[in-house]
Amino acid sequence: MSDNQSLLVERASELDEEDLAALCEAADAAIIDGGGFGWVNPPGRTALERYFHGVLLVPERELYIARLQGVVVGSAQLVRPPRNNEAQAFGATLMHAFMAPYARGQGLARMLTRRVEDGARALGYHVLNLDVRETQEVAIHMYEALGYIRWGVHPAYARVAGRTVRGFHYYKLLQPGGRIG
């Protein structure tokens, strides 16, 4: 494992050109490796730049970035429920998490997940939800090791390389004692 001082996870409220370029490169690498965040094929640099700039503009989304030796190598989003969904206002969603293949094995994905959990907890959320393709076995193992509970399987969750794959749905209780409210 790398020196912990070279690993950093933070919430991003803006991205300078260097960070945006590194984030787009990391996203491309993750998508090509099969660990993308919805895309199966890289959409191109311009689309990724617009996407990440857009994420920063959406009030219900928080972008968290992971750095290895100062360079952005992955990200995840904390998504709050819409204001009109009072019935589910106690829960948030961890979405679009990825780590570039060249940065894996350092513990950054765990740090990133925990930082999103801390962000959700600080905002008063009691539950954090997420979903993942069945083909992303390393991510599944990590989420389960971090205490996420699989509550469902979607049999036709995604299409990857012409094949329909299942999706696994998870949740984790965030408040002390595992209470919902």
Q: How many CB atoms lie within 10 A of CB 143?
A: 23
- Of 36, 33, 9, whose CA–CA distance to 119 is shortest? 9
The alpha carbon of 16 is separated from its chain's Cα centroid by a whole number of angstroms, namely 20
- Of 63, 173, 72, whose CA–CA distance to 121 is shortest? 173
Distances (CA, A) of 110 to 80, 106, 117, 126: 21, 9, 10, 20
pLDDT one-digit tens code per residue, 105-160: 999 999 999 999 999 999 999 999 999 999 999 999 999 999 999 999 999 999 98
Question: Does residue 2 surpass a pLDDT of 50?
Answer: no
Quickly state the pLDDT bin for 161 (edges 50, 70, 90).
confident
pLDDT one-digit tens code per residue, 58-97: 999 999 999 999 999 999 999 999 888 888 889 999 999 9
Q: What's the pLDDT score for residue 83? A: 87
Question: Does residue 1 surpass a pLDDT of 50?
Answer: no
**Domains of the chain by range and CATH?**
4-178 (3.40.630.30)
